[in-house]
Amino acid sequence: MLPTKIRKLYLPNFQQFRGCIVDLTDKDGRAADRICLIGRNGTGKSTLLRLLDAFLRNNELPAGIGLEVERDGRRIFLPGPGTTFQTSSLDFTGVQIDHQALLACDSIDAIMRRLSSAGAVEYLWDDSEHHSSGEELVAYCPADPARGTPSIDGDGHPRTNLNAVLKLFATRLPFYHEISDVRVADMWKILVFLVKKRESDRQSFETRPESLQKTKAQLIAEFDATNPPVLEGLGALWNRILEPAGLELDIEGAKLPVQLTDNLEAYIRLRGSKQRIPYSALSTGIRNFLFRIGHLFLLYFNRKIDPGFVLIDEPENSLFPDFLFDLMNVYEEILRDRSGRTSTQLIVATHSPIVAAQFEPDERIVLEWTADATVTAGKGTAPKGDDPNDLLRKDFHLGELMGPEGVRNWQQYLDLRRRIRHTTEAEKPALVAQALEIAERYGFEPPK
């Protein structure tokens, strides 16, 4: 069974982390619905995502790691094998207990049992008391997927067939999914499954005894109200991405599989001439984004996911900046149910200040190197929606945003302005002209 949300990671001695607590709670002290990990290369953003991925997939923690999770409104502490902590590193907020008694404990087991007796946190993982109200789901999008090539056939379609899809009818979709450009066939198989399942569900719906007295129009309206067509939903999502490039998903021209060896054919086409464009002809960034966002959309389509976890490493990969400003809204729309709520915890790791600016400061985890070559984890400070350049200074902690050539020209520009103030009237025009030329190139304030 999965936890509802992850609250904290305790990393007393794990790779580059020493005595580090990664706090995933919001400003109210609850596990945040959204988390953004930022930091320099090597600080462990991808490492933390892989750690969480392994835990959620296998329900196991490496030695020396601890997790504090929320489950059914309770806080539960889960230690990996051999985990030990200083009591000062644990979160005792709101705990009515004698701290001296905690200090006298000689093991993490004794500490957590005392906390549990105080009603603050639970140590044991008890599956029998957990009742999920929906389907559990874990989706992991690595920045660098396993080696392989996208499963696209000679006609530019992801490879699958109806025979492979029908096997899903005898089971149910697995709870764990890796989403990447080499898993395109998995995404396409789910799409075909949802198309064929809707056909099967419609047939069952129309042959129910209570449906026999209704008109065809009534049956269509009732069925469509709770069973939206998946291709139209995918098209609406993809067309938001394709429209700026003058492209669209050809839903009307889609060919649904009938024979066991058939594949679904749904083309991209030019909006004006309607000329078909194979998926393989799309840019790498657009194609990978379509399949990544489409895969996630299909996993959540018309399902009640509770709980869910979506881990995305570098969502900005290969995307032009204009795609990034609304990127998190696109993901959140997919994760929300019809009531506008979500039971999914979204955790991303990014190098993009544009992406990071779409999170509240308490939702940003800033990983930083210390003087002794270990990593600490703090919270962001820049407000949500701030100028990405401000975010680079405040949370990415870049003191200089210009390259070496820009810095040299800035220093030359400042020197020219100083000389203008102290030069003769005869020499001033030439200096002003030089300063204006630099100001126009770099957008500096013109000299007066």
Mean confidence (pLDDT) of the chain:
82
For the ranges 116-120, 307-311, 435-439, which has the lowest average pLDDT?
116-120
Residue 104: the pLDDT is: 56
Residue 95: the pLDDT is: 44
For residue 324, what is the DSSP state? Answer: H
pTM, two decimals, is: 0.83
Report the share of the chain in percent with pLDDT over 70: 84
Q: Where are the alpha helices (DSSP H) in 243-361?
A: 284-300, 321-324, 327-335, 353-356
Residue 448 pLDDT exceeds 70: no
Strand partners for 21: 10
- Using one digit for the tens of pLDDT, what is the confidence trace for 157-182? 788 878 888 877 777 788 899 998 88
Q: Which has the closest alpha carbon to 38: 345, 361, 364?
A: 364
Q: Sheet of 276-277: strands edge to edge?
A: 247-249, 268-270, 276-277
How far, in whole angstroms, is CA 143 from its chain's centroid?
11
68/375: higher pLDDT: 375
Residue 99: the pLDDT is: 47
Residue 133 pLDDT exceeds 70: no
What confidence category does residue 126 fall into, taking pLDDT thresholds of 50, 70 and 90? very low
- Using one digit for the tens of pLDDT, what is the confidence trace for 290-329? 999 999 999 999 888 988 999 999 999 878 888 888 899 9
Residue 97 pLDDT exceeds 50: no
Residue 49: the pLDDT is: 95
